[in-house]
Amino acid sequence: MANTPAAPNTYEPKDKSGPLSIEKVTPELAAQIVKHFVLPMFDNAPSSNYGKKLGQKGIAQSGAVYGELKLSQQLTDQLSVIRDEVSTITERLEQEQQMRIKSQANLRDLNKKYTMKSKAHEILKTQHHEQLRFNQMFQEHVKKLELDNEALKKLSNQNEGLRKRLSQDLQASEARNDEQLNFIGCQT
């Protein structure tokens, strides 16, 4: 394999870890290569010093290769910061989604409890209304019994009056009968 030439757009590393294809190189990997390998070659170049002297913060003339590479590096750094922020926001979003799922589960549990308590409340309310109706019927029955008792007392008093009158009439009749018997017995 050492004698076979590498395919186009590939790089054969010396450690024989396998060819590296250009299709496998991500923009992030390319930016790291520029940062760590290409830019250091230009950092000591006279053109970079010229740009620094002009106060352009290390960027040479805008059309120069070094300036483009530096700009690429700055954009890569910004991209890295933005990716970190996106990662943080994504983590927070996942946490918020977890919290939302838990909150929804809690809400479902609370709704179930509320439904059960509402049903229990309705049952108690129905039982209370039935108890009130029963109490009302019982009170009406007690009033009827009291009226019936009053009527019985009146009848009892009337009966007692009649009994006394009948008793008196009976005693008077017995007394007359006794007188008539005595009168008949005296005549004989």
Q: Hunting for tokens 């108690």 — which residue is that?
A: 124
Band the pLDDT of 41: cuts 50, 70, 90. Answer: confident
**pLDDT of res. 2:** 46
Q: Please return the burial class of 69, using the count of CB atoms within 10 Å of its CB with bins 0-12, 13-18 and 19+.
A: buried
96-152 per-position pLDDT tens digit: 999 999 999 999 999 999 999 999 999 999 999 999 999 999 999 999 999 999 999
Which phi and psi angles does 48 have, rounded to 5°? -70, -35
Are the C-beta atoms of residues 66 and 44 closer than 8 Å to each other?
A: no
**What tokens does 20 get?**
């590296």
Whole-prediction pTM value?
0.42
Domain boundaries, the chain: 10-187
Q: Which one has a higher pLDDT value, 48 or 155?
A: 155
